[in-house]
Structure 1
Amino acid sequence: MSYISIIIPAYNEENKIKDTLESIKDIKEIDEIIVVDDGSSDKTSEVAKSVKSDKINVITQSQNRGKGYALNNGLKEAMKKADIIGFLDGDLGNTASEVEKLITPIINNECDVTIAKFPPAKKKGGLGFVKNLAKESVKEMTGVELTSTLSGQRIFKKEVLEIFDEIPFGYGVEVGMTIDILKNNFKIEEVLVNMTHSETGRDLKGFIHRGKQFYHIKKVVRQKKKEWR
């Protein structure tokens, strides 16, 4: 039997983290849920700790260090026991239960990594530049075409994560990891899920966020081209 750990990096998610945890805590395949509160200024840690389950372990960072740092912090704990490790966002709410669809292909040894493929966004976001950059960069470097390269909802066999000294930092984390995983000849399968989470709109904040994503992806792709030439 596999031991499965789920890592949830969370920053100011007091309104969603309880529903996220409640929806996955009774999934029998999941043995451990590690919440890493990334220096939240709200009550994310307190709310997470209030959810009754022996599976839940809440790690509270004193300051906001970013998603990559939080994932690495959670991995230090997960790698001690787990054979299969998953990443989920804290704002999935009740739809986090869809993680079962990501776990099954791994348990059945159909692939090494699963990535959640979300349904189309309900509100208009960006103009597609970031998604296209991510998709085309992965295809250019690996020959594999994936449509959900930016999705952070992923399940891994432990041996996949062992190729990384640490999870990359910044908004290019998913693209950088995907390139390395495929270059190391691991198999990735995209799985359609009915998950929803906070969407970035077409306001100033949204465009600033996507601008940062675009810059970080460009940066990580340049780095990967040097590493894999």
Structure 2
Amino acid sequence: MSRISIILPAKNEAAALRDLLPRLTAAQPGAEVIVVDDGSTDDTRDVCAACGVICLSSPYSMGNGAAIKRGARAANGEILVFMDGDGQHEPADVARLIARLDQGFDMVVGARDWESQAGVGRGLANTLYNWLASRMTGHAVADLTSGFRAARAERFREFIHLLPNGFSYPTTSTMAFFRSAYGVAYEPIKAAQRVGKSHIKPFKDGIRFLLIIFKIATLYSPLKLFVPVSFVFFLLGFANYAYTFFSYGRLTNGSTLMWSAAVIVFLIGLISEQITALTYRHTD
């Protein structure tokens, strides 16, 4: 059994895989390489066969996260390495990530610098995500959304049920590891420009990535999101009461509704916190 399994989700990435796979197998000759074909219509399967790597094909596109989950379930290695199939990640960097795992970490993430970001907009968004995740966890998060990472297989599989089928699996897995007190490290990398056209749709996926911000909070500690919101409703209700009391000498329905909202939001946060604690409870 291979100690290392390298999983590459790919959708119509034959052009990139044709160059990437030979370099990857040369850099990691003993590794199990699995390409998860996410409903490709190009010759991805033929490229994998020519390079002698495993190809798991889906009859239709299920999403990047779905491909990651399928690959993780099929892998035999003790260490799982995830990298994009579009040629952005350098095969030689795999050894650096694994070396950090050998230092005792449970997951190592390839952290991109600003020059490696796919445009200014994506760079600013990722900077925001990193800052928010750092505030939530109390640890420095260098790259929350990087798809290039290595993790211990037994640890990663604990959270497969939490991973979405879309593009936010890196965020979910990172926050899940932090929540469970598993060691996470960051290794600086350079990411090249992707080969071919990106599958990310700016408007649709921009809204989806915006939801990541809320997901970060609810995955790690829901009360850190709900308590401030509850407090804002309480202050708004108090401000409205002060205004109406000095103006009309009475308490209005508006203040009552906002105070009620504050209590409801706080209770929802409390329940969410309990659900989150149960979600990350070890069953072994």
* Fold match by TM threshold 0.5: yes
Partner secondary structure for residue 185 of structure 2: strand
Per the alignment, in what secondary structure is the counterpart of residue 58 of structure 1? strand
- Runs of 4+, deviation exceeding 4 Å: none
In 1, the alpha carbon distance for the partners of 2:59 and 2:182 equals 36
Report the RMSD for the aligned CA atoms in angstroms: 2.8
Q: Does 1:174 align with 2:170?
A: yes
Contact map agreement 2:34 2:71 (CA 8 A) in 1: yes
Deviations 1:143-194 (A, max 9, x none): 1121211101000012321321435112322112111101111111111123
Structure number with the higher helix fraction is 2
Mapped to 2, the partners of 1:110 and 1:168 lie a distance apart of 24
> SS of the residue aligned with 1:15?
helix
Alpha-carbon spacing, 1:199–1:191, altered in 2? closer, same or farther (3 Å) = farther
Identity of counterpart residues, as a percentage?
A: 24
Q: Secondary structure of the residue that 1:75 maps to in structure 2?
A: helix
Q: Which amino acid in structure 1 is aligned with residue 24 of structure 2?
A: I
Aligned residues: 220
Name the aligned partner's letter for residue 44 of structure 2.
T
CA 1:200–1:210 in structure 2 vs 1: closer, same or farther (change >3 Å)? farther
Verify the 8 A CA contact 1:19 1:94 in the aligned structure 2.
no
Aligned equivalents of 1:134, 1:38: Cα separation in 2: 27
Once residues 173 and 22 of structure 1 are traced to their aligned partners in structure 2, the CA distance between those partners, rounded to angstroms, is 27
Structure 2 counterpart of 1:188, from 184, 188, 195: 184
Shift of 1:195: 3.2
Please, which runs of 5 or more residues in structure 2 have no aligned partner?
Answer: 223-271, 278-284
- Contact 1:98–1:195 under 8 Å retained in 2: no
Q: Alpha carbons of 1:19 and 1:111: their partners in 2 closer, same or farther (altered >3 Å)?
A: same
Counterpart Cα distance in 2 of 1:205 and 1:165: 25
Query: Please, which of 109, 117, 124 is the counterpart of residue 115 of structure 1?
Result: 109
Calculate the TM-score normalised by the size of structure 2: 0.68
Which residue is 1:68 aligned to?
65
**2:210 matched to which residue of 1?**
214
Which structure carries more relative contact order (alpha carbon 8 Å, separation 6+)?
1
Q: Which amino acid aligns with 1:183?
A: R
- The yes-or-no answer on 1:19 pairing with 2:19 is yes
Give the secondary-structure state (helix, strand or coil) at the position aligned to 2:15.
coil
Structure 1 counterpart of 2:36: 36
2-structure distance, mates of 1:127, 1:172: 14
Please tell me whether the aligned partners of residues 39 and 62 of structure 2 are also in contact (alpha carbons under 8 angstroms): yes
Aligned in 2, Cα 1:122/1:186: closer, same or farther, shift over 3 Å?
closer
The answer for the alignment partner of 2:243 in structure 1 is: none
SS at match of 1:26: helix
- Deviation (angstroms), 1:122: 7.1
Q: Which runs of 5+ in 1 are unaligned?
A: none
Q: Deviations over 1:64-90 (max 9, x none)?
A: 000111111111111xx3111111100
Give me the TM-score of the superposition, normalised by structure 1: 0.83
Q: Distance in 2 between matches of 1:134 and 1:200?
A: 26
Contact 1:20 1:92 in 2 (8 A): yes
Structure 1 SS opposite 2:151:
strand
Report the residue type matching 1:181 in the other structure: F
Task: Confirm or deny that 1:88 pairs with 2:83.
Answer: yes
Query: Structure 2: which amino acid aligns with 1:135?
Result: N
The separation in 1 between residues aligned to 2:44 and 2:209, in whole angstroms, is 25
Q: Cα distance 1:115–1:200, how it changes in 2: closer, same or farther (>3 A)?
A: farther
Cα distance in 2 between the residues matched to 1:94 and 1:150? 14
Whether 1:5 and 2:19 are equivalent positions in the alignment is: no
Report if the CA contact (8 A) 2:15-2:195 is conserved: no
Which of 93, 97, 114 is the aligned partner of 2:92? 97
